[in-house]
Structure 1
Amino acid sequence: MSLGGMHQIHGRPEALPLSASPLFASTDVDEARARVAEVYCDHRLDPMGRGRFEARHNRLSGRALSVNVMTYTAKTMITPGALRDFYLFQYPLSGHASIANGTNCHEIGGGRGGVVNPEEDTCMIWGEGCAQLMIQVRREALQKAARSHFGLPTGQSLRFSGANDMRAGEGKAFLGLLSYAMSGEGLLGAGGLMGQQLETMLMVGLLQTQRHNLSDRAAETGGPLPRAVRLAEEYMRAHLTEVITLETLARAVGVSERALQAAFRAGRGRSPMTVLRDLRLERAWQELSHPGPATRVTEVAMQLGFFHLGRFSEQYRRKFGCTPSETLRGAGRL
């Protein structure tokens, strides 16, 4: 069923998308709060209307994100505080909701959706019969996509604002992609390369269709990033374990070293070699958080060109908030 035909479902369970992936259905407020908290975060759940309360939640999980469809039949206040670990895109399929996310307050529904930021305290009021399509995205995954495709500077937070009309143009195209992801083709959550690419496309779609603090930069450059930066970073990712110099990058991209440095300053606010270091740190995090039997911190660092282990550990800690050894220990090996 396409999302375009889902605007008047009035909470009917048989009409909810993702019916093949039910998480729970309950008429008990405490049970509903506990089940939602298991996959989102702890929160208060307070029905406000006099109507019968029923909650239903369908969920399809991937590696970096999950697609969810939820409904509360009664008018309901949800108070989670700060989401902390994830961003939450919300798009009502029926009804409306009021969102207060720090100073970012907006109404969604009638073809408009928005994203809740993880750092600010949040309170939401869902109207009676509101059914919402939501994408829960791991904070670090969406930040990484924003760095890769929109030039989010290191250390800067990605912050969304307001509600966005999704009924035409890129918004409509994004909903079409989301409808495909929910269609039961088996890509999302399957763990294969195509599933991962689909998740990346959904994250880029959110960044492209929702207003955030990088939107003006994208508009000024006429696209997400200058072409030279995109090509240089593609080369970096394909050769992270090899020796890469500024000369190597400029030759691979087909521009002068000075032009490449200027493109990175305009698109990233950083030098090419600083971006390369961050990409290598991110690869190190991937290796250490998903280790094999023989994975060791020293070998990972050396393979990626970090020959001063103390400096590698400090750069890693500044970027991820923990040491390489702590990442490996948390993944079950040291």
Structure 2
Amino acid sequence: MNSPLLSERSMVFERGDPYEVSGYVNQHVGNHCIRLPAVGHPLASLSHRKFASLDLCQISYGGSVRVTSPALENIFHLQILLKGHCLWKGREQEKFLAPGELLLINPDDPVDLTYSDDCEKFILKLPVSLLEATCNEQRWLKPSEGVRFTQNRYRLQELEGFVGLLGLVCQEAESDLILPRISEHYTQIIASKLLTLLKTNVSREELCAQAASFERIAHYIDSNLKQDICVEQLASQAHISLRSLYALFERYAGSTPKSYIRRKKLEQINACLSDPSCSVRNVTEIALDYGFLHLGRFSESYKIAFGELPSDTLKHRV
């Protein structure tokens, strides 16, 4: 891949001191350390643009430089090799990147990259908050540990339309007139495109399908309130993993499955205690009926939920 994405208009350093360039990168693109070759005097070049919540960077160190970082913390790095070669050392793996290849670095991934003398890269910095907000807007399910890309390396030719989209973003970033609404729109498209084209831990199941799954589970719970329902049963009923089950309840019930079941049991007991037509001899019997074996804890939970003891509800029924 020979064509640059940023033009000379975005040049910040041209044949400059690599350590000065590294300091600028630390400030704007991501924390790292560089190790220069023992001989020679490499000269670095860097172009940079800020575009809404994105940072666009094009960099070459002019020598066989090693770049390391323990982790990027709250940002993702998308790196495209434009020229030369780059050795990437990941978790228990080591690969050479060639021009036209893309590397996606997660926030908690250690960084260990060695540039060839002629290596030039384009780096797109994306905040974690952008990808999480995109998942929320699209109603996609993301695991509790956050968004992660599960495959790091791609060839650009595999990602239909992505290079063209990056070119448009760079063109907009270098425009003399940048409109905030347009730049925000482009960043959302970038985030959506990445979450769609690349392999992630995000479930992009349609919202209606998710809602239908939750409705089926809720109906199963309502029909079996007097039973001892475990989360494994619910996951089996819905044909989903435990992780997906918890994500489903977080989205549609705002709680864990166990808390939801407990609340539903309490609501049903409250309805029975309040209804004169419902045959209830005493509080102990109905509590045990719904699986509350510790009566003291049951009364406490009931009072927190309804503001009075279950015995008081029974007394007040008309």
Superposed pair shares fold, TM > 0.5 = yes
- Determine if the alignment matches structure 1 residue 107 to structure 2 residue 99: no
SS of the equivalent of 1:195 reads helix
Q: Deviations over 1:33-59 (max 9, x none)?
A: 212211134422112385641211111
CA distance in 2, matches of 1:271, 1:117: 24
SS of the equivalent of 1:70 reads strand
Tell me the equivalent position of 2:110. 121
Instruction: Give the letter aligned to residue 29 of structure 2.
Output: Y
CA contact under 8 A between 2:76 and 2:106: conserved in structure 1? yes
CA distance in 2, matches of 1:112, 1:19: 23
CA distance in 1, matches of 2:18, 2:207: 52
2:75 to 82, 86, 102: 86
Tell me the equivalent position of 1:201. 189
Instruction: Give the letter aligned to residue 123 of structure 1.
Output: D
CA distance in 2, matches of 1:86, 1:92: 19
Q: Deviations over 1:58-113 (max 9, x none)?
A: 11212321121111221110112211121100011112212234446543223221
Tell me the equivalent position of 1:152. 142
SS of the equivalent of 1:99 reads strand
CA distance in 1, matches of 2:53, 2:239: 30
CA contact under 8 A between 2:101 and 2:153: conserved in structure 1? yes
Instruction: Give the letter aligned to residue 198 of structure 2.
Output: Q
Classify 1:270/1:56 alpha carbon distance in 2 versus 1 (closer, same or farther; 3 Å): farther
SS of the equivalent of 2:25 reads helix
CA contact under 8 A between 1:18 and 1:69: conserved in structure 2? no
- Determine if the alignment matches structure 1 residue 130 to structure 2 residue 110: no
Tell me the equivalent position of 1:62. 51
Deviation at 1:21, TM superposition (A): 1.6
Tell me the equivalent position of 2:310. none
Deviation at 1:179, TM superposition (A): 0.6
CA distance in 1, matches of 2:190, 2:5: 21
Tell me the equivalent position of 1:269. 248
- Determine if the alignment matches structure 1 residue 39 to structure 2 residue 19: no
**Max Rg structure:** 2
2:154 to 161, 164, 176: 164
- Paired residues in the alignment total 232
CA contact under 8 A between 1:57 and 1:69: conserved in structure 2? yes
SS of the equivalent of 1:20 reads helix
CA distance in 1, matches of 2:58, 2:189: 20
Instruction: Give the letter aligned to residue 28 of structure 1.
Output: D
Instruction: Give the letter aligned to residue 45 of structure 1.
Output: I
Classify 1:201/1:16 alpha carbon distance in 2 versus 1 (closer, same or farther; 3 Å): closer
> Does 153-162 or 92-101 show the bigger shift?
153-162
Classify 1:173/1:97 alpha carbon distance in 2 versus 1 (closer, same or farther; 3 Å): same
The unaligned stretches of length 5 or more in structure 2 are: 219-237, 256-318
CA contact under 8 A between 1:73 and 1:129: conserved in structure 2? yes
CA contact under 8 A between 2:29 and 2:57: conserved in structure 1? no
CA distance in 1, matches of 2:172, 2:128: 25
1:96 to 82, 85, 90: 85
**Structure 1 length as normaliser, TM-score?**
0.59
> Does 128-137 or 178-187 show the bigger shift?
178-187
SS of the equivalent of 2:117 reads coil
**Structure 2 length as normaliser, TM-score?**
0.61
CA distance in 1, matches of 2:124, 2:74: 13
CA contact under 8 A between 1:115 and 1:210: conserved in structure 2? no
CA distance in 2, matches of 1:138, 1:113: 18
5 Å-filtered alignment, 1:1-20, equals: 7-8=1-2, 17-20=6-9
Deviation at 1:142, TM superposition (A): 2.0
The unaligned stretches of length 5 or more in structure 1 are: 1-6, 10-14, 218-223, 231-249, 277-334
Identity among equivalent positions (%) equals: 15
